[in-house]
Amino acid sequence: MSKLQILIVVFLVCSFLAVTIAQSDGLAAMFLMMQNNRNQPYGTRRSPLSGLMQWLMLENLDYI
């Protein structure tokens, strides 16, 4: 994995966290949302961004 790809992943993670925190009441709500997404089947109350981020994290977990 090249440094450019790692930078892109880090940027996406940071921007996702920033958007999530801005829309919620803070970290607690973000973690609750992440827990809810993990327990729900695909397609229910799941934003495309969170699905993308979960895929990125799973695919690149050993690089982070």
4: which 2 tokens? 């450019």
Find the domain containing 41 and state its range: 3-63
Percent of the residues in the chain that have a pLDDT greater than 90, as a whole number = 0
Tally of domains in the chain: 1
**pLDDT(64) > 50:** no
What's the whole-model pTM score? 0.34
Instruction: Give me the pLDDT at residue 5, please.
Output: 87
Segment 34-53 shows an average pLDDT of 58
Q: How far is CA 10 from CA 7, 17, 39, 40, 48, in A?
A: 5, 11, 25, 26, 18
The letter for the amino acid at 55 is W
Segment 34-48 shows an average pLDDT of 55
**pLDDT(63) > 60:** no
Average pLDDT, the chain: 66
Contact 53, 17 (CB under 8 A): no
